[in-house]
Chain A
Amino acid sequence: MRRLRLLIAAAVVVAALLYLIIGGIRTSIVYYITPSELRAQGEGARGKTIRLGGQVQPGSKTWDAEMRELRFTLTDDTASVPVVHRGAPPGLFSEGQGAVVEGTWEAHGIFMARSVIVKHSEEYAPPSPRP
């Protein structure tokens, strides 16, 4: 009898916890995708938190120091997405380079980035060994 009560109590705790965990995970998943995957998902991508990775399209970067607003286009050669970020560009941010932005895709087709991370494909490479 005691054992049964203990088991029931344990089952209730585990079920409640799992319910909360699953619900919580659903709302805070961040998806890692590319611009063409974003285009392919279309409306399905709205409202989700997304981490978008691609190249900063040459000629697309504008920085409005007054408004502290950074605009650029992320591309993966087949599709591109305009990005707006409120805040200074991170160090070494430049066109033609890889970047990862995290934020949401808004209704007007612009990606509002909460954060911008510069990505170096050759990051932390060893210096070529000299003979």
Chain B
Amino acid sequence: MTAVLGSVAILLASVAALTGIGLLLRGRARRGERLIDLGRWMAVAVFAAVTLAVVALEVALVGFDFSVRYVAMNVNSGTPLLFRIIGLWGALEGSILLWAWVLAGATALVAVRYRGRYPETVPLALALLLGIAAFFLLLMLGPANPFVRLIPAPAEGRGLNPLLQNHPLMAIHPPFLYLGYVGFSVPYAFAMAALLSRTLRDEWMMVTRRWTVAAWSFLGAGVVLGAWWSYEVLGWGGYWAWDPVENAAIMPWLVATAFLHSVMVQERRQLLRLWNHTLIILAFLLTIFGTFLTRSGILGSVHDFTQSSIGPLFLGFIAIILGFSLFALIARRGEVRDSGTLPAVISRESLFLLNNVVLLSIAATIFIGTTFPLIAEAAAGVKLSVGPPFFNQLTVPLALALLVLMATATLLPWGPPPPGILRRFLAPVLLSALFVAVLAAAGVRRGLTLGAFGVITFTALAQLAEFHRGARALRRAGSRSYPAALLGLFRTNRRRYAGYLAHLGLALAGITASSAYKTESEHTVRRGEVFRGPGYLLRYDGATASQAPDKLVVAATVSILRGFNLAASPEPSTYARIGVLRPAAHLYPQQRRPIPTPAVRSTWRGDLYLVLLAIEKDGSAVFRVSSNPLVPWIWTGGLLMAFAGLVSIWPARRG
């Protein structure tokens, strides 16, 4: 029943989307207010219908309705409620539905929010958004139908991919990523509408600024949460492997970061107008490309992917968007004029340009490294992959250059530099040099590590220096306390200081450049035996097996014993137990390979990361223990960046 309802809802949504496009375009051509209003209602209707489809699929997932193929494939009778709910984004069809839903929501919001405003651009932008939605809806009518029936219904379903079921982070990582991906559709649609309707001033950019920052924040948070999930679930002790799926998410984020900076130059100096159009088109294309990479199955094998029509449909859609956008861009290139000039060779404006060059270089590197294996397989039939060394080799120096630019641009004002500007650099440069000297004295020898720490410290100090300068100026103006003045900065110039907060987040996340100091060892130990972890002694106290509804959990208990002076071969019994780790392996009936669940002990200095690799027949356990210095700072810094983005767009208090 729910399946029929869902199918009907998708069909209705498709019809409403196509009707809406027709009404909006016709209404715009004839200046027909009524037609445009109807088109606007169609956008709302699409959202309502897709919401109905989402509800239908959720009812089926939560209610174990195995007569729906998607449910039978992704839920079984042991799947807990949370994972039944998030089963919506556990596989292809549901993810497409989620994409369509988020997009329909954004479209409806545009339709309602900008009612009667921007008559030149809004109807066109809405028609474009409905066109994008129509593509995803048609996918669901064809090859990615989430409501396909299984008759007769099986008595039991297969269950969610265990890797997705193993951690609650899975509940929030994909929605954040999709909010980010989809969010870029709105600025893209407005940018294209501006080109097509020749409203070529800066209106589109002002209208969509909040959308862009919100999408950027969600995408960033999605990327960080994904890395965290990978660290907590996959048990390999890392968080970033330059996997195509990860690359797919970081590329639009990088281009969007470039865009966020270069629109500021457009806003202040009326420069880079064509360039900004290009950037937002690129960012949007990369979100679609990312969805294509992760959802078409092309990563498994180029040849498998042609088995389903989803991949070719996606490629076709990307080609249409690319062709259409390029055509509009080229047709209007003579009319998109810059009206300002660059004020000085060395200024914040020019550094923003360099920042764009570096960010796009990073994105291009990742793009080529990600697509090269696909092209090689399609063209030459060779199966190969481009390993992490390639990405690290190129992106690490570029990222360091980016940090230096970021710190310098923060300290420089807009426009030509005033005399005495170099004094602002004095404290951050000297302090970071001092820090590097201390590190070197403490025994850090690797040049790249020292350089990275120096650059990161410089960046962080530059941001703090700006906060300090701002707070001091505010205090001089009034007689507030220092903390109140710091907070006051966010009231007087929220965008600017939220930007510095995001910079600070990046610097914090970058601290983990010390991953060179990761140490790892494997141990096979009997019950009661003590082994040496990094900085701690560990004791294996035994293992238990317990049957959960959806899985068998084999958990080991490992005591952490205090002990720093390990070289002195101490007597383990004299050490106090300071904590317990419970690494586990989860065995799901739908998969033979056990899923290790690492146990992590986090402190501000880093993580002690313990993975249970196996329990041998004689009862001894095999562990991999690693010390991952400073890893918690990535999550802190990354989420701080996303938070800063949201701070900058939070509606100002009226008063």
A and B are interacting partners: yes
Which positions in A face B, CB cutoff 8 Å?
13, 17, 20-21, 24-25, 27-33, 49, 51, 65, 68, 87-88, 90-92, 118, 120, 122-127, 129-131
Q: Which of A29, A30, A68, A90 contacts B613 (CB 8 A)?
A: A90
Q: A55 to chain B: closest CB distance in Å?
A: 16
Question: Could you tell me the distance between the alpha carbons of A103 and B523 in the complex, rounded to whole angstroms?
Answer: 23
Question: Could you tell me the distance between the alpha carbons of A90 and B524 in the complex, rounded to whole angstroms?
Answer: 13
| Size class of the B contact interface (CB-based, 8 Å) | 35 or more
For A28, the chain B residues whose CB sits under 8 A away are 386-390, 393
For A27, the chain B residues whose CB sits under 8 A away are 389-390
**A-facing mask of B140-169, CB < 8 A → 1, else 0?**
000000000000101110100100000000
For A129, the chain B residues whose CB sits under 8 A away are 72, 154-156
**A-facing mask of B107-130, CB < 8 A → 1, else 0?**
000000000000000000000000
> A88-B524, A88-B622, A91-B585 in contact; A126/B73 too (CB < 8 A)?
yes
Q: Is the CB of A25 within 8 A of B368?
A: yes
Task: Across the interface, name the chain A residue whose C-beta is closest to B341.
Answer: A2
Q: Is the CB of B590 within 8 A of A124?
A: yes
Residue with the greatest number of chain B CB neighbours at <10 A, chosen from A20, A29, A49, A90 = A29
For B372, the chain A residues whose CB sits under 8 A away are 25
For A31, the chain B residues whose CB sits under 8 A away are 382-384
B589 within 8 A of A: yes
For A123, the chain B residues whose CB sits under 8 A away are 591-593
Q: A112 to chain B: closest CB distance in Å?
A: 16
For A88, the chain B residues whose CB sits under 8 A away are 522, 524, 613-614, 622
Question: Could you tell me the distance between the alpha carbons of A33 and B589 in the complex, rounded to whole angstroms?
Answer: 32
Interface residues of B in 519-575 (CB under 8 A from A): 522, 524
> A21-B368, A126-B73 in contact; A51/B385 too (CB < 8 A)?
yes
Q: B505 to chain A: closest CB distance in Å?
A: 27
> A21-B365, A127-B158, A129-B154 in contact; A29/B591 too (CB < 8 A)?
no
Question: Could you tell me the distance between the alpha carbons of A68 and B152 in the complex, rounded to whole angstroms?
Answer: 52
B594 within 8 A of A: yes
Task: Across the interface, name the chain B residue whose C-beta is closest to A125.
Answer: B590
Q: B250 to chain A: closest CB distance in Å?
A: 16
Q: Is the CB of A130 within 8 A of B156?
A: yes
> A24-B390, A28-B386, A129-B156 in contact; A91/B522 too (CB < 8 A)?
no
Question: Could you tell me the distance between the alpha carbons of A118 and B156 in the complex, rounded to whole angstroms?
Answer: 28
B357 within 8 A of A: yes
Q: Which of A13, A25, A49 contacts B361 (CB 8 A)?
A: A13
Q: Is the CB of A130 within 8 A of B384?
A: no
Q: A98 to chain B: closest CB distance in Å?
A: 12
For B524, the chain A residues whose CB sits under 8 A away are 65, 88
Q: B410 to chain A: closest CB distance in Å?
A: 23
B364 within 8 A of A: yes
Interface residues of B in 569-613 (CB under 8 A from A): 585, 589-594, 596, 613
> A27-B389, A28-B390, A29-B384 in contact; A92/B592 too (CB < 8 A)?
yes
Q: B396 to chain A: closest CB distance in Å?
A: 12
Q: Please, could you name 11 A-B residue pairs with CB atoms under 8 Å apart, sorted by A?
A: A21-B369, A24-B365, A25-B386, A91-B613, A120-B592, A122-B592, A124-B590, A124-B591, A125-B590, A129-B155, A131-B152
Q: B414 to chain A: closest CB distance in Å?
A: 21
For B522, the chain A residues whose CB sits under 8 A away are 68, 87-88
Q: Which of A21, A29, A49, A130 contacts B394 (CB 8 A)?
A: A21
Q: Is the CB of B390 within 8 A of A25?
A: yes
Q: Is the CB of B364 within 8 A of A126?
A: no
A-B contact count (CB 8 A): 92
Q: Which of A30, A90, A122 contacts B386 (CB 8 A)?
A: A30
Q: Is the CB of B154 within 8 A of A130?
A: yes
Residue with the greatest number of chain A CB neighbours at <10 A, chosen from B72, B155, B390 = B390
Question: Could you tell me the distance between the alpha carbons of A90 and B361 in the complex, rounded to whole angstroms?
Answer: 38
Closest 6 CB pairs of A and B: A129-B154, A32-B383, A28-B390, A126-B158, A28-B389, A28-B387
Interface residues of B in 327-381 (CB under 8 A from A): 357, 361, 364-365, 368-369, 372
For A24, the chain B residues whose CB sits under 8 A away are 365, 369, 390, 393-394
Q: Is the CB of A126 within 8 A of B594?
A: no
Q: A53 to chain B: closest CB distance in Å?
A: 9
> A17-B364, A32-B385 in contact; A25/B369 too (CB < 8 A)?
yes
Q: B181 to chain A: closest CB distance in Å?
A: 26
Question: Could you tell me the distance between the alpha carbons of A33 and B592 in the complex, rounded to whole angstroms?
Answer: 25
For B596, the chain A residues whose CB sits under 8 A away are 91
Q: Is the CB of B155 within 8 A of A49?
A: no
Question: Could you tell me the distance between the alpha carbons of A91 and B372 in the complex, rounded to whole angstroms?
Answer: 32
For B388, the chain A residues whose CB sits under 8 A away are 28
For B361, the chain A residues whose CB sits under 8 A away are 13, 17
> A91-B593, A123-B591 in contact; A130/B385 too (CB < 8 A)?
no
Question: Could you tell me the distance between the alpha carbons of A120 and B592 in the complex, rounded to whole angstroms?
Answer: 8
For A49, the chain B residues whose CB sits under 8 A away are 387
* Given A124-B161, A126-B158, 13 further pairs, Cβ under 8 A: A13-B361, A17-B361, A17-B364, A21-B364, A31-B382, A31-B384, A90-B613, A91-B614, A92-B592, A92-B594, A123-B591, A130-B155, A131-B155
Q: B184 to chain A: closest CB distance in Å?
A: 24
Task: Across the interface, name the chain B residue whose C-beta is closest to A9.
Answer: B357
For B589, the chain A residues whose CB sits under 8 A away are 127
> A13-B361, A20-B394, A91-B613 in contact; A30/B593 too (CB < 8 A)?
no
Q: Is the CB of B384 within 8 A of A32?
A: yes
Question: Could you tell me the distance between the alpha carbons of A90 and B353 in the complex, rounded to whole angstroms?
Answer: 49
Q: Which of B365, B368, B384 contacts A30 (CB 8 A)?
A: B384
Question: Could you tell me the distance between the alpha carbons of A69 and B524 in the complex, rounded to whole angstroms?
Answer: 13
Interface residues of B in 58-107 (CB under 8 A from A): 72-73
Q: Is the CB of A127 within 8 A of B590?
A: yes
Q: Is the CB of B156 within 8 A of A29?
A: no
Question: Could you tell me the distance between the alpha carbons of A32 and B301 in the complex, rounded to whole angstroms?
Answer: 12
Q: A13 to chain B: closest CB distance in Å?
A: 6
Question: Could you tell me the distance between the alpha carbons of A92 and B585 in the complex, rounded to whole angstroms?
Answer: 12
Question: Could you tell me the distance between the alpha carbons of A29 and B365 in the complex, rounded to whole angstroms?
Answer: 14
Q: B224 to chain A: closest CB distance in Å?
A: 26
Q: Is the CB of A127 within 8 A of B156?
A: yes
Q: A43 to chain B: closest CB distance in Å?
A: 18
Q: A89 to chain B: closest CB distance in Å?
A: 8
Interface residues of B in 384-408 (CB under 8 A from A): 384-390, 393-394
Q: B7 to chain A: closest CB distance in Å?
A: 22
Q: Is the CB of B155 within 8 A of A120?
A: no
